[in-house]
Structure 1
Amino acid sequence: MASDLLSIGLSGAKAARTALDVTAQNISNAATEGYVRRTIGLTEVASTGYNQNVRDVSLSGVRVEKILRNADAFRQSEVRRTGSDTARANVEVNGLGNIESALEQSGVYPAITGFDAALQKLQEDPVDTSLRASVIEAARTMAATFQIASKELDAVGKGLQFQAADGVTQVNRIAGELARTNLRLARAADASSDQTALLDQRDKLLADLSQYGDVNTTLAPDGSVTVTLGSTATNDPLVSGGATRTLAMTTASGGTVAYTLDGAALTLAGGSLAGQQLALGKLAQLHTDLDDLADTIVTKVNAANGGGTDRTGAAGAALLTGGSAATIALATSDPAKIATAPASAPKNSRDASNLDAMRTALAAADPAGRMDAILFDISATVSGRTVTRDALATISDAAKTALSAQTGVDLDAEGVNLVRYQQAFQASGRVMQVAASIFDSLLQIR
């Protein structure tokens, strides 16, 4: 009996000591990112045979069966999914906002209206040198703003491409770390402290990975994970056991990007990589619209000027060169080259019919209206995406709150556990003292 009491007390002391260690670990890691609260699972220690009867069961104390992580796989998956959507929306809105700023701050719209205003003013006196010089300067300003807008858009595109390339690098790095974690989990003792630490590391890596792309996971009994990247369930896994596949990025001539996994095309629906891809797609469309507008202005102005006579009596020549926003430029700085008069008109003619034709051609092309439409397009897109981002952020925050309520450390509860397990440890020690006293008394019987 005394020996049984000793074993029971010893098992209780060991279990209480382990519980105190786990509680202390919870408290010390309360603010550690990715840490999941632990609890211990206890079970009875039972042995067969008592009083020389093998059919009896002798209850011999308690033991720690496993260390439990208070983590719900479904809630973790929801946090990754909603976080991935929010990351995509954040990156897309930031990229679109930079595009909007590049177009608005370049001043293309006021430069176009300024050029039209200078042409209208020239109609008052077609031979006035100062008015002609104003038209040349307005054309120079317009061409310069187109070039500035093109350069700014290119800079935004380069930034997005750099971020996407860095994201690809990070995905491959995280995939390698996940593969190594999988191998360590396969060798870890079941329900040990080492395994729970590895599971925390695994979940932290999955959360980091979900910020770059949408991930789907399949958990094995030993805790290792198979990770599929992308919106298609049939994609080859990024991580399977200790093996990984390589994510790569290609850049098209228009500045858009595409992703491949070991050479196979990959479509991403979430994460920052998808956001950068979407922003670059919008950038390419707006860049094309701006190039088309610049080409239209050059074509209309040169065609109209070539159909008239300049101030010297010569046939009109090209005023602008280039065929895109990046290449548009002033072909001549001589104010006399503006062909305000109709074909075959004499030198210094005050007939402004060809100038009227130029303004009519520009009015039909409506460059100011088209530029306004470009600005409205990006502005409306930013506004719509911002609403979507805010809604996704609210959903993501709710998912994080629900997970944190389960996995987070409550210091008040842990303080209570410290007292409870300390008392259990002391009680087990007292049981062993009583058993020792009984055993000593038995030895003293004569």
Structure 2
Amino acid sequence: MGNGIFGIGLSALNAAQQGLLVAGHNVSNAATPGYTRQQIVQSTSAAQATGGGFIGKGVQVDTVRRIYNELLVNQVTQARTESSQLDAYFTQMKQIDSLLADPSGRLGLAPALQEFFGSVQDVATSPSGIAYRQSMLSNAEVLVRRFQSLNDSLDEIRDGVNAQIENSVSLINTLAARISELNATISQAENNAGGQPANDLRDQRDELVTQLNDQVRAKVVEQSDGGYSIFIGTGQSLVVGSTAFELSTIASPVDPHRLEVAYVSGGNSIPVRESSLDGGKLGGLLQFRNEELDAARNGLGRVAIGLAVTFNDQHQLGQDIQENLGGDFFTVPDPSTTASTRNLGDAVIATEISDPGALTTSDYRLHYDGANYTFTRLNDGVTQTFAGFPQTVDGVRLSFASGAIAAGDEFLIRPTANGAGQIEVAIQDTSLIAAGAPIRTDAPTANTGTGRISAGTVDAPPPPDPDLREPVTFTFTSTTTFDVSGNGTGNPVGITFTPGSPISYNGWTVQITGSPQPGDTFSIGPNTDGAMDNRNALLLGALQSGNTLAGGTASYQSAYGQVVSLMGYKTRELEVTSAAQTALLSQAQALQQSESGVNLDEEAANLLRYQQAYQAASKVIQVATQMFDTLLDIAR
């Protein structure tokens, strides 16, 4: 009996001691990230059958288990990967929003546009004023530098995103390697312990999985041996048992400034479809770059190209102080067309802006399948298919320049990407500003009718000089007909006259109103000594408010405002969504911690309970010892 009581006391003492150890372990790891509360699992030792019934033999500790809820852990992990993606996206968006909507006006484009067109209006007020002309050129330089500065800032943001993508990929590889090592360590430790769970090692592995999901969404599958297999993207294996695979970053085959994420297999780096790498910081960076960074650059470039082309077109219709036709005022950036480095052919596709008003803010992919070309607008996936060139799509003219094309060849076409970075002022001489019109109209005072001729406008595109400025005369042969004389007109006679109707020859258009009488003449000729003429300057200034972009629905300022508004709305949307996701994450973590986290009050109670159990078990052993001592005394 003494032995039975002694054994029961020892089992109780051992159970209480292990309970104290586990409770103390919980207390010491209350603040350890990823730690899961542990608990001993006890069961009654097998009883001994006697004639008087079954007599108990004490207690045994079966295992130490984690209070682990896989469903709650998965909810926290998913909430964290969503929150991390939104935070990364929001952080980048704040940079663009602050850049484009700079309230001080030091960085934004709108003040520079306003100042430039203000100086154009000044030239219109005083066409021969050298100071006003110099101010116009100076403000034009400020404007193009502002475009370039904004583009440089977007380049810096792009380079920063590339660096963060590299860091994220490196961290993903490190975490995958550590998880694979823990898979092997856990398997060995649990085999050595007869299948008992290595709780602390499992906690460490789960914490690494959580950190991995902070970088990219990862799917975890637990194998029959307790090891984790982890998959990302469209099912690429990142960890399988004790084997870890790697990601890498490579330059895009169509854009060397753009890093792509690739999966390393057999020594080869295979690009991973970016849309499949959602979740986590990496997913947020890729989404930001593909959606907002490209949209901001292209939107800014569209304004620059639209300004350069439309301003040039009108400037070429004017006449400078030296009585020459106007030339290009701005240098128009060319579209960016890049052949993939994987192309088998050497074809060169030429692109040029044909209609700035039809430009979008999207990039395009041109793919050849061996028979037809597929032209895809990347921001919405709209495609067009054609068999040959030339083609004009969304204001861009495509033509086959040279070389041979092979099936599978691909090209990236970015019509507006270079706009803000490459726009320049094309003239430096104030006398080359074409503020006047190259033609002048006249109605002799000897005319007897009430006919009046308009100042005339030059038709676009401008005709070659000197045809434009060849003298032309209209002679009315009756109140309803007139003859035309002058080089380039064909000298027609008996032209029917309709008051106010346009009359066009040699690249210009005029209107005659009123009631001319037979014998009345009207002349159109070169604008000599026209330094004070401001007709073209007025038309240049009117471009500021004209809807020349986005299919004739937006001016320069409103097109830029659309970019600023888009970035602002997206930033605000992400701010709200990120805050909401953070709240959801906090709720998920609180729910998970309520079950698996360490409650110090609860552990204090457990320590007290196990201490009392330990003391009671010690008393049982003391009683058993006294019983043996009594038996020994009787034996003497």
Do the structures match in fold with TM over 0.5? yes
Aligned pair 1:286/2:286, yes or no? no
Q: Deviations over 1:228-248 (max 9, x none)?
A: 223x4xx13311111122123
- Picking from 573, 588, 598, the partner of 1:384 is 573
Secondary structure of 2:226's aligned partner? coil
Task: Give the Cα separation in 1 of the matches to 2:633 and 2:581.
Answer: 77
Cα distance change, pair 115–434 in 1 and its aligned pair in 2 (3 A): same
Task: Give the Cα separation in 2 of the matches to 1:9 and 1:333.
Answer: 102
Aligned pair 1:405/2:579, yes or no? no
State the Cα distance separating 1:305 from its structure 2 match: 1.9
Counterpart residue type for residue 27 of structure 2? I
Task: Give the Cα separation in 2 of the matches to 1:300 and 1:220.
Answer: 65
Query: Is the 8 Å Cα contact of residues 229 and 268 (structure 1) preserved in structure 2?
Result: yes
Structure 1 segment 2-401 matched on structure 2, within 5 A: 2-46=2-46, 59-105=56-102, 106-189=107-190, 195-230=198-233, 232=234, 235-252=235-252, 253=255, 257-262=259-264, 263=270, 265-266=272-273, 267-281=276-290, 282-323=292-333, 324-343=419-438, 344-361=526-543, 363-365=546-548, 366-401=555-590
State the Cα distance separating 1:359 from its structure 2 match: 3.2
Task: Give the Cα separation in 1 of the matches to 2:619 and 2:196.
Answer: 28
Task: Give the Cα separation in 2 of the matches to 1:325 and 1:10.
Answer: 83
State the Cα distance separating 1:275 from its structure 2 match: 0.5
Query: Is the 8 Å Cα contact of residues 91 and 276 (structure 1) preserved in structure 2?
Result: yes
Residue in 1 that maps onto 2:513: none
State the Cα distance separating 1:276 from its structure 2 match: 0.3
Task: Give the Cα separation in 2 of the matches to 1:67 and 1:104.
Answer: 59
State the Cα distance separating 1:312 from its structure 2 match: 2.2
Bigger mean CA offset, 309-318 vs 149-158: 309-318
Q: Deviations over 1:34-86 (max 9, x none)?
A: 211111111122166657x9xx8653211211111112111111000011101
Query: Is the 8 Å Cα contact of residues 247 and 260 (structure 1) preserved in structure 2?
Result: yes
Counterpart residue type for residue 409 of structure 1? V
Cα distance change, pair 95–137 in 1 and its aligned pair in 2 (3 A): same
Query: Is the 8 Å Cα contact of residues 88 and 275 (structure 1) preserved in structure 2?
Result: yes
Counterpart residue type for residue 159 of structure 2? K
Q: Deviations over 1:290-313 (max 9, x none)?
A: 112211211222222222221122
Query: Is the 8 Å Cα contact of residues 254 and 284 (structure 1) preserved in structure 2?
Result: no
State the Cα distance separating 1:345 from its structure 2 match: 2.9
Query: Is the 8 Å Cα contact of residues 304 and 358 (structure 1) preserved in structure 2?
Result: yes
Secondary structure of 1:60's aligned partner? coil
Secondary structure of 2:634's aligned partner? coil
Query: Is the 8 Å Cα contact of residues 185 and 222 (structure 1) preserved in structure 2?
Result: no
Secondary structure of 1:39's aligned partner? strand
Q: Deviations over 1:298-347 (max 9, x none)?
A: 12222222222211223322222241211112222322211011225334
State the Cα distance separating 1:194 from its structure 2 match: 7.8
Task: Give the Cα separation in 1 of the matches to 2:231 and 2:89.
Answer: 23
Query: Is the 8 Å Cα contact of residues 312 and 347 (structure 1) preserved in structure 2?
Result: no
Secondary structure of 1:113's aligned partner? helix
Q: Deviations over 1:190-226 (max 9, x none)?
A: 5989811101101110110110111221223543222
Q: Deviations over 1:120-148 (max 9, x none)?
A: 22211111111111111111111010000
State the Cα distance separating 1:255 from its structure 2 match: 5.5
Query: Is the 8 Å Cα contact of residues 66 and 192 (structure 1) preserved in structure 2?
Result: no
State the Cα distance separating 1:364 from its structure 2 match: 3.7
Task: Give the Cα separation in 2 of the matches to 1:245 and 1:254.
Answer: 25
Query: What runs of 5+ residues in structure 1 fail to find an aligned partner?
Result: none
Task: Give the Cα separation in 1 of the matches to 2:194 and 2:69.
Answer: 16
Secondary structure of 1:342's aligned partner? coil
Secondary structure of 2:46's aligned partner? strand
Query: Could you tell me the TM-score, scaled by structure 2's length?
Result: 0.66
Task: Give the Cα separation in 2 of the matches to 1:45 and 1:437.
Answer: 24
Task: Give the Cα separation in 2 of the matches to 1:251 and 1:138.
Answer: 38
Task: Give the Cα separation in 2 of the matches to 1:443 and 1:222.
Answer: 54
State the Cα distance separating 1:170 from its structure 2 match: 0.4
RMSD, matched Cα: 2.2
Query: Is the 8 Å Cα contact of residues 26 and 409 (structure 1) preserved in structure 2?
Result: yes
Counterpart residue type for residue 241 of structure 1? G
More strand by share: 2
Q: Deviations over 1:155-182 (max 9, x none)?
A: 1111112111111110110000000010
Task: Give the Cα separation in 1 of the matches to 2:197 and 2:593.
Answer: 22
Query: Could you tell me the TM-score, scaled by structure 1's length?
Result: 0.93
Bigger mean CA offset, 119-128 vs 79-88: 119-128
Bigger mean CA offset, 70-79 vs 41-50: 41-50
Query: Is the 8 Å Cα contact of residues 46 and 58 (structure 1) preserved in structure 2?
Result: no
Counterpart residue type for residue 435 of structure 2? T
State the Cα distance separating 1:25 from its structure 2 match: 1.1
Bigger mean CA offset, 120-129 vs 312-321: 312-321
State the Cα distance separating 1:259 from its structure 2 match: 3.0
Counterpart residue type for residue 265 of structure 1? V
Cα distance change, pair 364–411 in 1 and its aligned pair in 2 (3 A): closer
Query: Is the 8 Å Cα contact of residues 127 and 348 (structure 1) preserved in structure 2?
Result: no
Query: Is the 8 Å Cα contact of residues 65 and 197 (structure 2) preserved in structure 1?
Result: no
Q: Deviations over 1:373-418 (max 9, x none)?
A: 1111111111122222122111111001111112221111111111
Secondary structure of 1:261's aligned partner? strand
Cα distance change, pair 50–82 in 1 and its aligned pair in 2 (3 A): same
Matched residues, number: 440
Residue in 1 that maps onto 2:359: none
